[in-house]
Chains A and B, each alone.
Chain A
Amino acid sequence: MAAVQETVDRVRQIDVDQYRYGFETIIESEKAPKGLSEDTVRYISAKKNEPAWMLEWRLEAYRRWLTMEEPKWARVEYPKIDFQDLYYYSAPKPKKTIGSIDEIDPEILETYKKLGIPLREIEALEGVVRPEGERRIAVDAVFDSVSVATTFQKELKQAGVIFMPISEAIREHPELVKQYLGTVVPTSDNFYATLNSAVFSDGSFVYVPPGVRCPMELSTYFRINERNTGQFERTLIIADKGAYVSYLEGCTAPQRDENQLHAAVVELVTLDDAEIKYSTVQNWYPGNSEGKGGIYNFVTKRGDCRGDNSKISWTQVETGSAITWKYPSCILRGDNSRGEFYSIAISNGYQQVDSGTKMIHLGKNTTSRIISKGIAAGKSQNTYRGLVTAHRKATNARNFTACDSLLIGDQCGAHTVPYIEAKNASTLFEHEATTSKISEDVLFYCIQRGLSQEEAVGLVVNGFVKDVLQQLPMEFAVEAQKLISISLEGSVG
């Protein structure tokens, strides 16, 4: 039997019960009643002790949402979602407000351990002191809908960096939240973003003041734990003039039979000379071998290079979810601003990925770079969808796009859908695309040298995605590399 055929067969046998992150933490939780109405919105807002303006903002979004329709243009298929059959809010029942590690439910801590949250972060959670000079990562862990632990607060505070759950920011820094929330992704933006605006439960808020380089990587771990709880994260990151911050987002979710909806919104704003680097590793439950279950990941992520000479860079490693619908984008408003999108999207089993980016060139001399690596295995469908536009005033806009797809087996599909619009004669947009099958000869070469079939596939795929992996912060890259092997290996094992 041909090597690729063998891979395909083994992929077919994925025992998803082995999904590494599929377990459930049994803790008491507090939920909003099922379904969505103005009352649900009020319930969530009240739970969060929100000021009246925030409730109003949510209600307006909710009313808008009632008039909207689900988008249908993506190359993904799924049964109709019954929005009245979901819970919109679920929180581990806190005894009191959580201030320190000791107060965190030991079961929750155990969950983090099972998740394989990098050791140093467990250490951080457990308050282990590390040697001076070692680079640290601050974690804001989102467990279902409530942030349960935030570390390194003090040091960040000294630098003037605000890093806290957005629900707290709404109460403690209303002026900043009001000034920026919804200015990149307006409440009316799209069906899922609007839904998020109405019911978002929690997420992260980051503000880096002028001239400050954030002293550590900021990191959030998401997890969807409750059955049938849509998770609606809302993240807002602002880098003020000359500021820099690198933000890491990692996610896992326990295994579920029912599909779980996840509709997050992430907004990034950079002012003059500022830079935000946003990295994601997403490995939510992809569904079982028959394509049952798994996360619906309908996310709106957008960055606004509002100031001159500012830069926003998205890096994503997407290996999980049953359906991914995600286009982290950059609005290049400031002159000389730069947008980057580096993506690895792996689909296996029955996963469907429709992901890409939008680079919208508005300012002069704006540049953007898109490097997308799609890997499709099993019976999955993997689509890159990208838009690059230059407006009339965007003189000398430059874009370089390279989309490479790798197919493992012959029952999967890779598709590239680039839209390019230049309304300015000085624009220079370059687009390259390749699609190839993983070569049997290459696999056999590796295997002849002693690698197992799985190791060979992992090695070849990691080589294929190298350009993107290099964009990730070091410690994240190592994990991502393992994850890539696991997501295909698990498929071959």
Chain B
Amino acid sequence: MTALLEVKDLQVRVEDREILHGLTMTVNGGEVHAIMGPNGSGKSTLSHVIAGKPGYEVTGGEILFKGEDLLEMEPDERAAKGVFLAFQYPVEIPGVTTMNFLRTAVNAQRKARGESEYLVPDFLRKVREVAASLNIPMDMLKRGVNVGFSGGEKKRNEVLQMALFQPSLCILDEMDSGLDIDALRVAADGVNALRSPDRAMVVITHYQRLLNYIVPDHVHVMSKGRVVKSGGKELALELEESGYAQYEDAAA
């Protein structure tokens, strides 16, 4: 079976500084992987490179997505093929209603895959259904994308998009940052509802807390641009007690 995502010896530079120094990990369909690590260890960088954000130079290694060379694809093509990144800091887009944004995005992806556009009633029904499950009032979708949304609303909006697009790879970057416990639970429930045998999740977090709600199959510890340890979900608890200090030394 081909892995969903294979990152092999990935080396990445930003503005002439190497940030990732040979990172390797394999994610299969149905799995949930957690990436943990101190601030600045390169977690967001990894997520951005997978999604294709400009500004990063891959100087070595490769990324395969369903066996295909991901780095050869344009970022919008990656999205259409099922790569989804829930951003740590979702941006605001004034003047563009969330509803319009969702429809434009869904249809852009469908078009890229050679599928027909959603009919408006079908689309609305789908959005209503998903929004209700995430406690998102329809009024919120009439506002500009993330404009004036609270931290929790922004994250729920990310999960809403995930549920609409049905991607095969979901990368969640610090989904817990800025959320109180109730907001976190709602968002995590949304994510858990999306777990399925043909979908994988990569959950990036600094804290163990999130992993109480989204329980991972595998945990990787990142430090200074490398995966320094991998293990099962117990690794997260271990980290909670001992902290990252030991790994910083290991990476150095």
Q: B137 near A: Cβ within 8 Å?
A: no
Q: Are B96 and A460 in contact (CB under 8 A)?
A: yes
Which B residues lie within 8 Å of A460 (CB)? 93, 96
CA of A3 to CA of B91, assembled, Å: 16
Residue B144 contacts which of A3, A449, A463 (CB distance < 8 angstroms)?
A: A463
Q: Are A455 and B104 in contact (CB under 8 A)?
A: yes
Which chain B residues (62-89) contact chain A, with CB distance < 8 Å?
75-76, 79-80, 84-85, 87
Question: Which residues of the other chain, A, contact B85 by a CB distance below 8 angstroms?
Answer: 448
Query: Contact string, B91-126, partner A, CB cutoff 8 A, digits 1/0?
Result: 111111000010011101100100000000000000
- Contact A450 to B109, CB < 8 A, known contacts A459-B93, A459-B101, A463-B144: yes
A440, B54: Cβ atoms under 8 Å?
Answer: yes
Task: Please classify how large the interface on chain A is, using the bins under 10, 10 to 19, 20 to 34, 35 or more.
Answer: 20 to 34
Q: Which of A1, A6, A447, A462 contacts B79 (CB 8 A)?
A: A447
Which chain A residues in 433-473 approach chain B with CB under 8 Å? 439-442, 444-453, 455, 459-460, 462-467
Which of A448, A452, A455 has the largest number of chain B CB atoms within 10 A?
A: A448
Verify A2–B144 contact, CB threshold 8 A.
Answer: no
User: Does B96 contact A451, Cβ atoms closer than 8 Å?
Assistant: no
Q: State whether A452 touches B76 (Cβ < 8 A).
A: yes
Give Cα distance in the complex from A373 to B94, angstroms.
14
Q: Is B55 an interface residue (CB 8 A)?
A: yes
Contact B54 A448 (CB under 8 A): no
**Is B40 part of the contact surface with A, judged by Cβ < 8 Å?**
no
Q: Which residue of A lies closest to B96 (CB)?
A: A463
Point out the residue from B52, B104, B106, B112 that lies within 8 Å of A459, measured CB to CB.
B104
Count residues on chain B whose CB falls below 8 Å from chain A CBs.
Answer: 29
Q: Would you call B231 an interface residue if the criterion is a C-beta within 8 Å of the partner chain's C-beta atoms?
A: no
- Tell whether, in the assembled complex, residue A445 and residue B79 are in contact, meaning their CB atoms are under 8 Å apart: no
Return chain A residues, CB-CB under 8 Å to B109: 449-450
User: Is B205 located at the chain interface by the 8 A CB criterion?
Assistant: no
Contact B96 A439, beta carbon cutoff 8 Å: no
Complex alpha-carbon distance, A465 and B93, angstroms: 12
- Given the complex of chains A and B, what is the CA–CA distance between A442 and B76 in angstroms? 14
Contacts of B108 in A (CB 8 A): 449-452, 455
> Bound complex: CA of A448 vs CA of B91, how far in Å?
12
Question: Contact at B95–A466, with CB atoms within 8 Å?
Answer: yes
Cβ of B184: which chain A residues have Cβ within 8 Å of it? none
Query: Is B75 touching A439 in the complex (CB atoms < 8 A)?
Result: no
Give, as a whole number of angstroms, the nearest-CB distance from A449 to chain B. Answer: 4
List chain A residues, Cβ under 8 A from B52: 447-448
CA distance A278 to B250 in the complex (A): 71
Q: Closest residue of chain A to B57, judged by CB?
A: A1
- Complex CA gap A439/B52 in Å reads 16
Task: Given A1-B54, A2-B55, A450-B109, check contact A445 B104 (CB 8 Å).
Answer: no
CB distance from B82 to the nearest CB of A (A): 10
Q: Note all chain B residues with C-beta closer than 8 A to A452.
A: 76, 108
Min CB–CB distance B56 → chain A (angstroms) = 10
Report the 7 A-B pairs with minimum CB-CB distance, sorted nearest first. Answer: A463-B95, A466-B95, A463-B96, A450-B109, A449-B105, A450-B79, A450-B108
Q: List 30 A-B contacts (CB under 8 A).
A: A3-B54, A439-B91, A441-B91, A442-B91, A444-B75, A445-B91, A446-B101, A446-B105, A447-B75, A447-B76, A448-B52, A448-B53, A448-B75, A448-B79, A448-B85, A449-B105, A449-B161, A450-B76, A450-B79, A451-B104, A451-B105, A452-B76, A459-B96, A459-B104, A462-B95, A463-B94, A463-B144, A464-B94, A465-B95, A466-B96
